Chain A
Amino acid sequence: MPLRAKVASSVSRTAAALSRAAGRGDGSVIGGWIGLKIDPDLLAHLSAGRAIALVSGTNGKTTTTRLTTAAVGVLGRVASNAFGANMPTGHTSALAKAGSTPYAVLEVDEHYLAQVLEATEPHVVALLNLSRDQLDRAKEVAMMAQLWRAALVRHPDVRVVANADDPMVVWAATPPADPAQGHVPPHVTWFSAGQRWHDDSWVCPECGSTIQRSGGQWWCTGCPLRRPEPQWTVEDDGVLDPTGAWHKIQLQLPGKVNLGNAATALAVAAEFGVRPVDAVSRLGSVTSVAGRYAQVDRDGRNIRLLLAKNPASWLEAFDMADVAPTLLSINARDPDGLDTSWLFDVDFAPLAGRQVLITGDRAYDLAVRLDVNGVPFRHVRTFDEAVRAVPPGRLEVIANYTAFQDIRAELDRVN
């Protein structure tokens, strides 16, 4: 590593430690920011000599990164940005903090994938899904798919592990080969993680025709784009690998969506030579991910926290949640997106029959939504009031980003 990079890396670690000591978060952003100021190529320098996997997509990237880190851990030490700081400052900080490791698994914000591909020259990149998320500031879905596609064309050597069930991802992962330009199609391994949310992929990104779906398959009615045959699939409570061997998966994380994330993690780890049979037991050791799925006991209630940031992830959260009293909390601060219209993209009908409580800055938006959905609810002003309003036993909490952080802080204070 050049001297400048060594200094930058050391300063980055110190700043992160100072930030943590001062109680200003986990320091993963500030450390990386300072490091990159001293050496703008620090991320590239810190990446050199490591075999790296990048994990990107709208939903599931933090969890999949954690599961992949566990799986690749079979081979040796793995650096990772485990706390969801998923922009280059976070990557820089994570690698600096980890010191020398043979492997790294990095979660990447989908807007930064091109830049991080450039800086880290990964061995493999996992593409999970693309759906609408905070449209008041984020790129629209088709534009994001186009950016991914353009980035992959520039990196024909990277191995791609991609979700066969998402037409936008499939299109992004299969840029046209152009022998004249020296472009070869990327090597893609397909997994099937399912896709509950379809409303951002009715129109073919290639030709604008309608996309048809039937029995898990999808195809464009106007061009050859269609669902590729996946090599990794979820079957019952396990994963089928490309050899046809089935591996039972026992996760401590709820829901079908996390089985899909486990299949993805095994597929990515396999690109480094990890055999699924050696990795499955490690997946079961992952309990909570940056507070998500964490369970806290208070006053006889077992409170479980589920994060849901956008329409697709709300559908997944309903699938993960037990049939139990449920608290929904919605904010619309900057990190959440300021527009709450998306609440009407979510069908809350699965909650009918459960005791539903609502809270958060934008509880009234949610109230109007639930009212028209025919789901009875009660509005509570505080988290304490919610806990007192439900009988002893499980309380599921589904919240969007800052609402989730508020509730985590509340639980940390007491426990």
Chain B
Amino acid sequence: MSTESLRIVWVYPDLLSTYGDRGNALILARRAQLRGMPVEVLEVRSDQRLPATADIYLIGGGEDGPQALGAQRLLADGGLHRAVAQGSVVFGVCAGYQLLGTSFFAKGTRCQGLELLDLSSDRGPTRAVGELAGEVDPRLGIPHLTGFENHGGRTHLGPGVSPLARVTTGVGNDGATEGAWRGKLLGTYSHGPALARNPDLADLLLRWATGIHQLPPLDDTWADRLRSERRAAVAAAARA
């Protein structure tokens, strides 16, 4: 960790917080605190400088206009690039995932992305709305991904990234793969919020940020029930 406490930055909640994205910051902070780690959560608005020294950066979902504006401001600010160069963790969701790539579509035009992940996004034939589930890359060592997706984009992965998961329900990147990761950067289309429905994914980010490989286990009774209930609902919908 960079300082005495774990520093989590929620990037531009004024622009990119359309689908309960605050939840990802709350979950991460809670899970760190329950392990006795001091935590600081900074909400950095788009008219403020982005500190380059935090441990984890969270970028949420948003409408087309705010997404394009957010990418522009992150490019102009440069703080996120410096943080990544220093080994910080970045977790992007939906619009926040797309803008980590080389380019994305918003309001009908191609916009420049941050080029932190080797991927690009364009418009799909239909909007992907509904439950999203998949089997996660075994190298990440976490159980199946569950979430809710709501996006019109399709994301094409380059050789420089690995898919986060193989899709079993929903669309994700393109109907076959979902999300992407490289090093300590990870993106997903999953709302829910993603870290509420996937506590092991939250712990993966905490392990990356702290370098602690064995985090003490937590009581995840309710999250486990939620995951089972969602898995059963998805299976029931598939049978219907």
Contact = CB atoms under 8 A, between A and B. Distances in A.
Contact of B150 (A135, A208, A210, A369): A135
Given A344-B22, A364-B222, A136 B129 contact: yes
Contacts of B226: 364-365, 367-368
Contacts of B26: 344, 372-373
A379 to B, nearest CB: 9
A367 B150 contact: no
Interface residues of B, number: 33
Contacts of A340: 148, 192
Nearest to A211: B14
Interface in B186-202: 191-193, 196-197
Interface in B162-221: 191-193, 196-197
A199 interface: yes
3 A-B pairs closest in CB distance: A344-B23, A341-B20, A344-B20
B115 interface: no
Tell me the dominant secondary structure on chain B's binding face: mixed
Contacts of B30: 372
B150 A339 contact: yes
Q: Which of A135, A136, A368 has the most CB of B within 10 A?
A: A368
Nearest to A212: B47
A240 interface: no
B27 interface: yes
B98 interface: no
A341 B17 CA distance: 11
A345 interface: yes
A221 B45 CA distance: 14
B193 A341 contact: yes
B223 interface: yes
Interface of A: 132, 135-137, 140, 142-143, 199, 202-203, 208-210, 221, 338-345, 364-365, 367-369, 371-373
A364 B148 contact: no
B63 interface: yes
Given A208-B65, A367-B222, A199 B17 contact: yes
A400 to B, nearest CB: 14
Given A367-B225, A371-B222, A341 B69 contact: no
Contacts of B18: 132, 135, 140
Nearest to B28: A372
B14 A203 contact: yes
24 contacts: A132-B18, A136-B150, A143-B63, A203-B14, A210-B14, A210-B46, A338-B130, A339-B19, A341-B19, A341-B20, A341-B23, A342-B20, A343-B23, A344-B20, A344-B21, A364-B225, A364-B229, A365-B196, A368-B226, A369-B23, A371-B222, A372-B26, A372-B196, A373-B26
Interface of B: 14-15, 17-23, 26-27, 30, 45-47, 63, 65-66, 69, 129-130, 148, 150, 191-193, 196-197, 222-223, 225-226, 229
Contacts of A202: 14-15, 45
Nearest to B219: A371
A202 B23 CA distance: 19
Contacts of A136: 129, 148, 150
A203 B23 contact: no
A13 B192 CA distance: 44
